[in-house]
Structure 1
Amino acid sequence: MALQQAAGAREHLEAIGRHIIRDHMPEQHRLFFAGLPFVVIGVVDPAGQPWATLRAGRVGFMSAPDPRHLRIELPRDAADPADAGMEDGDAVGLLGIDLATRRRNRLNGTLRRDWSGGFTVVVGQSFGNCPQYIQQREARFLRDPLSASADPPLVTVGLDERARRIIGHADTFYVATSADLADGQRQIDVSHRGGRPGFVRIGDDGALTIPDFAGNRFFNTLGNLLVNARAGLVFVEDKTGSLLQMTGKAEVLADTSGITAFPGAQRIWRFKPQQVVFRAAGLPLALSPLPDGWSPQTLRTGSWT
């Protein structure tokens, strides 16, 4: 709300939010999630650190028996650092995204381990998002999604050369943030970020500097960072399905002078990884860019160079 006020959009977004943010899934959202081969998940682990991850299954692994519940058929995955934040009663944020069509819908709620084959998310907030900055991709399975990667996760405290290469070539990543409310309720958000390859700048100290482009001005991510300066990021290697996950400290920069260095940016935020996990083939999908699949909004942004 503070960021909306600063952007001169508070009253406008108050009216929009009351109309589109629901406590249930409309029919089109129920069908949408059921047709996806993967979902982006945001959680907070027992140490209070946010993690973002991608989990996949054959189409139909998600289903909505009614407007207030989404059942997700997924085995536990000890190699995924996000798995520790997926216990019964934990808050969870979901992003359903169809990269081929640029459609995306959000679902935030409470995770329930109420059946042996996976878990159910009880809907807290359900709402749609615009298609801006989404690069079109085709999802193709590389292996049976029920089988785990044969490679163990590699954990570091900073960015090695491989991590720097993945980030330096990325045009997409996902970010998880959270906020603990006065009544004890925890809310988690997981969001998509897109730009030209290299839109995430890596500093000499290993910190990431990220432009925030014009969007829906809900400020789901940056609003959380104002009250809880922790975030979890995940980058995906398109051809291999390898995941680069990290958790650490984040801040929205008060000094806006850096905006002029990146055309299209309206504000800048910074992320310093504290724990980095590389999981080779952690996602059983290849997410291949489609020819001429660049988002028109992305092409109107610049680069750090």
Structure 2
Amino acid sequence: MRRGHTLTADDIGLVRQTDTFLIGTTHPARGNDASHRDGPPGFVRVENGELWWPDYWGNNMFNTLGNLQADPTAALLFCDCATGHTLHLSGRAALQWTQTGIPGDDADTGRRVHFIPEQFVAGRLLPLQADTVTAAPDNPPLT
């Protein structure tokens, strides 16, 4: 297991190849929330050590986005089910409004989440391996 503050090339590779991750947020009055985000591999972008991903259409509950508005601290968990490698990031996230249809606005929502990692824990922590997992067929294409 490794701990640190700066992502390595392997960490960035894991993030860029993922098609799903978990995000944990909190609200000062309502408590914690954990949910997943998914898309085609590459939907999470890494630029200058920071991450962002488009906000796709979902259940219209907006718990995560509302929590981030009240408290920007967040935790992300990326897992490679084929190898068992995991990457847990903690840091700060914020909703960004964009023009719809710009490159990276894969689902035409005009929203994305920007995440600044502050620390990480990485390693081969999953006790299972599943190399037959396939992506959901309804993911929007990357733009």
Answer whether TM exceeds 0.5 for this pair: yes
Q: Partners of 2:93 and 2:106 in 1: how far apart?
A: 22
Q: CA deviation at 1:258?
A: 6.8
Aligned pair partner of 2:11 in 157, 160, 163? 163
**Structure number with higher relative contact order (C-alpha < 8 Å, ≥ 6 residues apart):** 2
Note closer, same or farther for the CA distance 1:234–1:252 as it changes in structure 2 (3 Å cut).
same
Higher helix fraction: Structure 1 or Structure 2?
1
Task: Report the alpha carbon displacement of residue 271 of structure 1 after superposing the two structures with TM.
Answer: 0.3
Q: What is the percent sequence identity of the aligned residues?
A: 33
Match of 1:227 among 70, 82, 91: 70
Q: What whole-Å deviation, never above 9, does each CA across 1:53-104 have from its counterpart, x for those lacking one?
A: xxxxxxxxxxxxxxxxxxxxxxxxxxxxxxxxxxxxxxxxxxxxxxxxxxxx
Aligned residue runs from structure 1 range 151-230, under 5 A: 153-181=1-29, 187-203=31-47, 205-230=48-73
Q: What per-residue deviation string (whole Å, max 9, x for no partner) do you get for residues 84-140 of structure 1? A: xxxxxxxxxxxxxxxxxxxxxxxxxxxxxxxxxxxxxxxxxxxxxxxxxxxxxxxxx
**After the TM superposition, which segments of 4 or more aligned residues of structure 1 sit over 3 Å from their partners?**
none
**What amino acid sits opposite 1:172 in the alignment?**
T
Instruction: Note if contact 2:92-2:115 (Cα within 8 Å) is conserved in structure 1.
Output: yes
SS at match of 1:283: coil
Paired amino acid for 2:61: F
1:303 counterpart residue number: 142
Q: Using a 3 Å threshold, how does the CA distance of structure 1 residues 155 and 270 change in structure 2: closer, same or farther?
A: same
**RMSD between superposed Cα atoms in Å:** 1.6
**TM-score normalized by the length of structure 2:** 0.91
CA spacing shift, 1:223–1:192, aligned 2, 3 Å: same
Q: Note closer, same or farther for the CA distance 1:198–1:206 as it changes in structure 2 (3 Å cut).
A: same
Aligned to 1:79: none
Opposite residue 50 of structure 2, the aligned amino acid is A
Partners of 2:3 and 2:120 within 8 A in 1: yes
Distance in 1, Cα, partners of 2:80 & 2:3: 17
The answer to whether 1:275 aligns with 2:119 is: yes
Paired residue total: 141
Q: Does 1:244 align with 2:87?
A: yes
The residue aligned with 1:263 is: 106
Structure-2 change in CA distance of 1:303 and 1:176 (3 Å): same
CA deviations 1:197-234 (Å, max 9, x no partner) are 1100101x211011111111001111100100111001
Residue 192 of structure 1, CA deviation = 0.8
Residue identity matched to 2:102? T
- Could you tell me how far apart the structure 1 residues matched to 2:85 and 2:17 are? 14
What residue ranges of structure 2 are gaps of 5+ in the alignment?
none
TM-score by length of 1: 0.44
Q: Secondary structure of the residue that 1:178 maps to in structure 2?
A: strand
Within 2, Cα distance between the matches of 1:159 and 1:294?
Answer: 25
Report if the CA contact (8 A) 2:54-2:106 is conserved: no
Partner SS state of residue 102, structure 2:
helix
* Alpha-carbon displacement from aligned partner over 1:283-305 (angstroms, at most 9, x marks no partner): 10113334xx432321xx1214x
